[in-house]
Amino acid sequence: MAAIFIGGRHILLWELNASWDTLALLEKGLAVPRCLLVLAMTLMLSGGAFAQTYHANLGPMPLDAATNANMLGRGEASAALDGKMLTVSGKFMGLPSPATKAHLFVGLAIGVPGSEGFDLTVSPAQSGSVSGQIALNAKQAAAFRTGRFYIQIDSQKAPTGNLWGWLLPQHTDAPPDVPQQGPWFLPQLDTPSR
């Protein structure tokens, strides 16, 4: 078992949740400059200290000929998970009637609606903002990281949902009528599975 000596204490690498690559390097006896080792240990110890930011493109809910006139508008939102605290902020425009409610739902998978939700604050207007701050438990944080959270904005003419969008890892979207350059973002493949 590999261990390092920091501040007069032996620390086993498994205590730090170190990666197998780091463990393998140390077991082989590779010399690592002390400043790099301290930096690596700091990053491992602060594993959850950096916020994870996801983005949602808000668009009309599924529609048909009967609901087409009530399902208009666009928007965007982002959510940052810092420790257990999730902070949501976004904006929307072009609703056919004023927004009435906004929710953060947990779906069964990316693109599959769910029922468990949290209320968000929304501007009671056809254009405005959506926001909220929610403390998540471990199960909810895992659902966020795996892309199962989505935002839904209801309006007077669409009380069961006008706009929605899944919160997914930051990625580049090509504008309309512009070919996608480089690798494409595929949510089911490019979103963490845990």
Residue 29 has pLDDT above 70, yes or no: no
Closest CA to 106 of 95, 119, 117: 117
pLDDT of residue 18: 41
Q: Is 29 helix (H, G, I), strand (E, B) or coil?
A: coil
CATH topology of domain 52-170: Immunoglobulin-like (2.60.40)
- Per-residue pLDDT, averaged over 41-51, amounts to 47
Give strand ranges (E) for 13-156.
52-60, 74-82, 85-93, 99-109, 112-122, 128-135, 149-155
CA 127, 163, 105, 79 dihedral sign is negative
Domain ranges for the chain, please list them: 3-45, 52-170
pLDDT in tens, 89-138: 999 999 999 999 999 999 998 888 998 789 999 999 999 999 999 999 99
Q: Is the pTM of this model over 0.75?
A: no
